[in-house]
Structure 1
């Protein structure tokens, strides 16, 4: 495979985002997926986050193909780059932890949602719902605490990644730069997911995705009006309103909101599970390269 040298610079932010073979189809696939993810940053709906998780799956399928290339394996196997590779492995482990937190949060919220739906179908009256709703809200409080901790960890990873630097070896720079771009976009998607699950207002998307823009040498996308539909938050708000009003006429609306929330959770969980498996596969591939 023909290669073209890159004009590597000392600063991490000055790297080219292409592999040594500029027109390699795997390079094009990775760049295309990174751009698709970057372009989807503005919306805050469950469907947009689900789309991002599906795009991450496609991205990591391309990363898997990248890690099969001899030139990539040779670059990652260099002893002098071991510290940088270990940083990538540490990053992937931290991302897996965040995925685990998100999966647990979705499962916990889903179970509470289903329980409430079952109780509402029996129509015991608002008085009989008070304790169940209180349990749901307590569960949501625990979910927010866990996901907010995950968000802090992601922010720490983002800060570490933005200050990274490495040597001037052309092939190594190209491969590691690509993997760091993948890590950056993964952090951003998981931040969106964690914020959505917790119902917290995170920093603006344009700021949150600025790291990827820097790594790809592109300007940030102009910030537009964001959609803020959150099925999980809507269900929680409707439950609070039902208990406050004590009006059983609101039950049908609550049931609809809970059903929407359950469907949203299922879609996000499916996308997260597919990505989770691919993240593990990428981590194992890098470990295998180091152990060869």
Structure 2
């Protein structure tokens, strides 16, 4: 009887499920936090977008560690999985392209904002009018570029198939949430869609009864829209100019934070792409 009891105990001990690798658990946690952030965020301010970009840095840093695991490299190195790796590599290239578009848009906006700030300090009416027009023209051009990029993001991530390994599925989830954050970023930069009658009429409608953009009632507007709205009501009055200067300072600071976050994220994206290429070529 004792012998049978020992055998039964031995069988049960071997039936315990193996625990996931700590890096896999960490990857799942990063994914969960970003999904939750995207689902619950009610603000379009750069603060929340920066928070998600920082989350992507942690996620993709974890992805590279994940791809270095011997079991993961063995699973992805199987011949039948290589076509899915090709798709992931195409996805990573699209993400890097979108990242480049976002960086260019931020850089262009910052350059125009700095030029406008310089002119406002000199308080020369003719120069102010010319620089405001230059800024708004640049914004209009950026909106078109971003609209095209956002359209290109639609339906980029293919659905799961029964043939792919669970590791591929997890990496697809990483791709999906990464595209979602960049979509939020591009929407932040672009601001509200322009009206067919007037490119900036919608911005003007955001201002209630001659209130300028720096009022507390508009605190939920993102930094890009605040400047657009302030410029749409800009007059020669000193208080209005001071308001625009403050909005421009806030915008430049936000852009600086976003640029630094995207630059760091880009390095992680490239590193993960190299790891996938190495697995594919082995």
Q: Which whole-Å deviations, capped at 9, do the CAs of 1:60-106 have from their partners, x for residues lacking one? A: 11101110011111111111122211111100001100000000000
Distance 1:69 1:88, change over 3 A: same
Equivalent residue, structure 2, for 1:69 = 69
User: What TM-score do the two structures reach when normalised by structure 2?
Assistant: 0.80
Equivalent residue, structure 2, for 1:165 = 161
Residue 251 of structure 2 corresponds to residue 258 of structure 1: no
Residue 37 of structure 2 corresponds to residue 40 of structure 1: yes
Q: Which whole-Å deviations, capped at 9, do the CAs of 1:116-150 have from their partners, x for residues lacking one? A: 1111111113x431111111011111111111111
**Alignment RMSD (CA, Å):** 1.8
Deviation at 1:289, TM superposition (A): 0.8
Partner SS for 1:200: coil
Equivalent residue, structure 2, for 1:213 = none
Equivalent residue, structure 2, for 1:143 = 142
Residue 188 of structure 2 corresponds to residue 196 of structure 1: yes
- Count of residues in correspondence between the two structures: 239
Deviation at 1:249, TM superposition (A): 3.0
**Which is greater in Rg?**
2
Partner SS for 1:23: coil
Is the CA contact (8 Å cut-off) linking 2:105 and 2:189 kept in structure 1? yes
Q: Aligned ranges for residues 90-109 of structure 1 at < 5 Å? A: 90-109=90-109
Q: Aligned ranges for residues 1-292 of structure 1 at < 5 Å? A: 22-41=19-38, 42=41, 43-125=43-125, 127-157=126-156, 160-161=157-158, 163-167=159-163, 173-200=165-192, 228-242=220-234, 245-292=235-282
Runs of 4+ in 1 over 4 A off after TM superposition: none
Is the CA contact (8 Å cut-off) linking 2:160 and 2:169 kept in structure 1? no
User: What TM-score do the two structures reach when normalised by structure 1?
Assistant: 0.78
Is the CA contact (8 Å cut-off) linking 2:60 and 2:272 kept in structure 1? yes
Deviation at 1:246, TM superposition (A): 4.2
Deviation at 1:21, TM superposition (A): 5.8
Deviation at 1:251, TM superposition (A): 0.4
Q: Give unpaired runs (5+ residues) of structure 1.
A: 5-19, 202-226
